[in-house]
């Protein structure tokens, strides 16, 4: 894989911040440079590294993995590492670990849509004792809430289908990607170098499945296989 390098202007900013002389040679490899000066550089000077290195590459650095683990261990747990959010990104992994393909609760996105309609649209829902006009508003609010819920659920279903295609591609690292079928055949696979095993019979204890799944999400995040937002990429460079 071709190594990308920091822009000369970014290198000069780092040199100036560290008060290094022009004779001081900075490592050409961005990972070596990052490893050497990670603890000394502020966030603005670290951000360019996220554009030229991948989360998986940065996982080679012990301080980065430690910071990811610290972030994943914060209370409350970051929302994207919850089972509800993670099953949308890793639906096959969720099902292989015994998770139900039918969610028992509405996702965060669906809940947000319903909350906005309930609390903000046309003043939100009103008390049952309100006048006729207010009751009509309440009916409109409820109808819109149901409509937006349907749109959000449909969007999430499409997201799950797309993520299954991505997971199958990760299953077949180095092999031709078959994008025609949306159905998982139940065989084992891998995510990067992590073998995730064959599908298991759906566990009746979905809470236990969710906890095990969340532990797997943390592993994927720490290893740089599931960094889901630019915010997380930046935090791994600046916390601790």
Q: pLDDT value at position 226?
A: 83
Q: pLDDT value at position 237?
A: 59
Q: pLDDT value at position 147?
A: 63
Q: pLDDT value at position 186?
A: 42
Query: The tokens of 144 are what?
Result: 């819109």
Asked whether residue 59 is assigned to any structural domain, the reply reads: no
Instruction: Supply φ then ψ for residue 194, to 5 degrees.
Output: -90, 110
Q: pLDDT value at position 181?
A: 36
Q: Per-10-residue mean pLDDT for the chain, 240 residues long?
A: 85 95 91 94 92 91 91 90 91 92 58 56 50 52 61 76 83 46 43 51 77 94 75 52
Q: What span, in angstroms and rounded, lies between the C-alpha atoms of 170 and 76?
A: 30
Tokens 């998982």 belong to which residue? 184
Q: Which domain holds residue 106?
A: 79-238
For 87-103, give the DSSP string.
HHH-HHHHHHTT--SS-
Asked whether residue 34 is assigned to any structural domain, the reply reads: no
Q: What span, in angstroms and rounded, lies between the C-alpha atoms of 162 and 204?
A: 27
Q: What span, in angstroms and rounded, lies between the C-alpha atoms of 144 and 123?
A: 13
User: What is the DSSP-derived secondary structure letter of residue 140?
Assistant: H
Asked whether residue 24 is assigned to any structural domain, the reply reads: no
Asked whether residue 25 is assigned to any structural domain, the reply reads: no
Count how many domains the chain has.
1
- Map 144-166 to HEC letters: HHHHHHHHHHHHHHHHHHHHHHH
Q: pLDDT value at position 111?
A: 57
Asked if residue 2 lies in contact with residue 13, where contact means CB atoms within 8 angstroms, the answer is no
Asked whether residue 19 is assigned to any structural domain, the reply reads: no
Residue 75 C-alpha from the chain's centroid? 17
Q: Which of 219, 217, 209 is nearest to 104 (CA)?
A: 209
Asked if residue 238 lies in contact with residue 43, where contact means CB atoms within 8 angstroms, the answer is yes
Q: pLDDT value at position 4?
A: 87
Asked whether residue 37 is assigned to any structural domain, the reply reads: no
């Amino acid at each position: 894989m071709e190594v990308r390098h920091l822009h000369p202007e970014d290198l000069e900013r780092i040199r100036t911040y560290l008060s290094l002389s022009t004779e001081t040679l900075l490592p050409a490899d961005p990972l070596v440079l990052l490893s050497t000066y990670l603890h000394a550089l502020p966030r603005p000077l670290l951000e360019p590294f996220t554009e030229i290195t991948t989360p998986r590459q940065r996982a080679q650095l012990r301080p980065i993995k430690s910071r990811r683990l610290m972030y994943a261990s914060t209370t409350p747990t970051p929302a994207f590492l919850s089972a509800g959010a993670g099953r949308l990104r890793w639906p096959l992994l969720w099902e292989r670990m015994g998770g139900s393909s039918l969610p028992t609760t509405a996702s965060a996105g669906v809940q947000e849509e319903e909350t906005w309609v309930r609390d903000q649209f046309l003043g939100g829902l009103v008390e049952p004792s309100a006048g006729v006009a207010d009751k009509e508003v309440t009916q409109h609010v409820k109808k819109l809430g149901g409509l937006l819920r349907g749109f959000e659920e449909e969007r999430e279903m499409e997201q799950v289908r797309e993520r299954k295609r991505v997971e199958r591609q990760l299953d077949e690292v180095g092999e031709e990607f078959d994008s025609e079928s949306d159905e998982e055949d139940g065989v084992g696979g891998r995510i990067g170098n992590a073998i995730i095993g064959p599908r298991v019979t759906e566990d009746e204890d979905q809470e236990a499945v969710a906890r095990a799944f969340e532990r797997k999400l943390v592993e994927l995040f720490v290893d740089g296989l599931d960094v889901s937002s630019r915010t997380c990429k930046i935090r791994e460079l600046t916390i601790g």
